[in-house]
Chain A
Amino acid sequence: MRKERKYNIKKVMSTIILFFCSIAFLLPFIWMLSTSLKIEADVFRYPIEWIPSRWNALANYQEVWFGESPFYIYYWNSIKVAVLTTLVSVVVSSLAAYGFSKVKFPAGAWLFIIVLATYMVPPQASLVPQFILFRYLGVFDTHFGLILLGSFSVLGTFMLRQFFIGIHNDFIDAAKIDGAGHWRIFWKIALPIVRPAVATYAILRFIWTWNDYQNPLIFLRTDALYTIQLAMQKFTTINGSFYTLIMAAAVSAILPLLIVFIMGQKHVIDGIALGGVKG
């Protein structure tokens, strides 16, 4: 009994200590949110006003969303690119993952090694020829080009393949004997079984695409095509010292991700933990 209580006090103590650590991770976000609601004159007030004394939230967000560089355009661009990239990438990766795990063909083994080997190539090492190639193909400065860049994920293929391997071959053989072809087995049996893994990968791919800054920076030129990350950067340059506006933009850039993350929290954390994957 006494031991139990002692243990609980220890647990409460470490929870409190850890809570203070976690503050260090949340404070910048809280500061961002609170600044986005203020008037400009109060931004650097000290001690920091966590809850604004003078509110200006509506005007700030209105300027960000419908002002000179309206975020709703860039939002739409980002949603379009992120959703389509995720969709194509999931389809391509799961097809390849099935092919590499459940179709027994002799070339499969070494083709898989080639695919894995390309994972060693840091994306920036192939950037210059990609840029030249994309200009030549006429997909430079288009959303199509951007989607193309994110659609062929070795990581996704590798991750989903691990899950397909986990499916017992008896399932597949039984379906084959019943006359099902690989296409039907893939679609009706294998894919439903690995659905949680597909969801994990899809959420991760969405987050990575949404946050991608480098590819849009290099492969987009037209302002009207900008994704939210580019718009964020541009907005900062234009509004230099209007920190309330910049913070309102930052909140707007982070919010949808936060929603996706909190909705798929278990998937994301399990996925990261499982494969120790990294974008």
Chain B
Amino acid sequence: MSKQFTTTQEFKEAPKTIRKLRKSKIEKDENFIGFLFVSPMLLGISVIVLFPIIATFILAFADWKFITGIDQLKWIGFENFINLANDEKFIKSVINNAIFILTVPITMICALFLAVIIDKNVYLKSYFKVAFFMPYISSVVAIAVVWQVLFHPSQGPINQVLMTFGIQNPPTWISDPNFALISLMIIHTWISIGFSLIVYIAGLQSIPKELYEAADIDGANSWYKFRNITIPLISPTSFFLLITGIIASFKAFDLIAVLTQGGPLNSTTMLVWHLYERAFLDLDVGYASAIAVVLFLFVFTITILQWVGQKKWVNY
């Protein structure tokens, strides 16, 4: 490459053969440099995610306790999955996960309500943003411990307040099988509202003001505007929050691990907790991998639904 081009114009005007040669050299260089830039990421992803997930799918068909050597590994086909179908705790986990999804719409409704007020009609906007967002950035372990004491059956502040309002036998919350899951859901909602709120506020700001002004001229009331302008135009944000919320709800682990360990009486066991127990307390690699495959398939299906649904249900 003897000839140097100083501008793109000159480069374009150069004879075709030189250009071609030069182009292929550049392409080759770009290819190499491109790989160089992305290779740390690719390498990391391969070791941390790709290889393990493939291994999960393979190990799901094996019977292997981790403490025994690799030579003890037996291939058992679909037996793990058949056992899953008869595993009461697993079924309970799936049901609990399904119930836990209810926190997503509840969080979204609260967050949208708050966001609409904060966006338009309020002083101290940034105070509110920070206040509602605090639970989200705080450590789940610390928060869980605080709520554990707040929910204390006989002496906790929550029940003491309930008792002064005349409720004789308030629920014992986390230690009551009928209330433990609800308690976790309350805490989870409390944690996630801040995130949805921030995303909703951003979404609201992208709705053109003219629409509201036009509705004002037509004499529309606030509810009408909310119902017919805000809701449809915020739907892409809602859809995003719904999907990410559901995926996050499948990953719920910290609260369970700190507060209930799946109990009492399996009332708060969920997929990831069950997986953790089987993998790291029972060291049952094969069975835990089968649970992991089911978890993967759930999340995968939701992600696909997202791709398909985005075009269908969202009003732009």
**A interface residue numbers (CB < 8 A to B):** 10-12, 14-15, 17-18, 21-22, 24-26, 28-29, 31-32, 35, 43-44, 46, 48, 91-93, 95-96, 98-100, 103-108, 111, 114-115, 118, 120-133, 148-149, 151-152, 154, 157, 173, 177, 181-183, 186, 207, 210-211, 213-214, 217-218, 228-229, 232-233, 236, 243, 246-247, 249-250, 253-254, 257-258, 261-262, 265, 268-269, 272-274, 276, 278
Contact = CB atoms under 8 A, between A and B. Distances in A.
A48 to B, nearest CB: 6
Contact of B132 (A25, A98, A217): A25
Contact of B198 (A114, A236, A269): A269
Contact of A128 (B41, B157, B160, B292): B292
Given A105-B31, A149-B48, A278-B248, A115 B257 contact: no
B40 A276 contact: no
Given A31-B157, A236-B145, A272 B198 contact: yes
A258 to B, nearest CB: 8
Interface string B242-266: 0010011011011001100000000
Given A95-B40, A213-B141, A254-B142, A28 B31 contact: no
B55 interface: yes
A28 B139 contact: no
Interface of B: 5-8, 27, 30-31, 33-38, 40-42, 44-45, 47-53, 55-56, 59, 66, 114, 117-118, 121-124, 126-135, 137-143, 145-147, 149-150, 152, 155-157, 160, 164, 190, 193-195, 198-199, 201-202, 237, 240-241, 244, 247-248, 250-251, 253-254, 257-258, 272, 275-276, 279-280, 285, 288-289, 292-293, 295-296, 299-300, 303
A113 B298 CA distance: 21
B138 A265 contact: no
Interface centre among A11, A91, A122, A211 (most CB of B within 10 A): A122
Contacts of B156: 44
A272 B31 contact: no
6 contacts: A14-B117, A95-B41, A96-B40, A120-B299, A265-B126, A273-B198
Contacts of A133: 47, 51-52, 55
B30 A103 contact: yes
B195 A272 contact: yes
Contact of B145 (A26, A246, A278): A246
Given A22-B132, A217-B257, A272-B195, A128 B34 contact: no
A25 B30 contact: no
A122 B247 CA distance: 8
B251 A25 contact: no
A93 B201 contact: no
Given A31-B146, A257-B139, A103 B33 contact: yes
Contacts of B38: 95-96, 99-100, 108, 111, 115
Contact of B279 (A31, A92, A127): A127
Nearest to A170: B8
B48 A152 contact: yes
Nearest to B275: A124
A46 B154 CA distance: 12
A257 B138 contact: yes
A100 B133 CA distance: 33
Nearest to B132: A25
B199 A273 contact: yes
A236 B144 CA distance: 11
B146 A129 contact: no
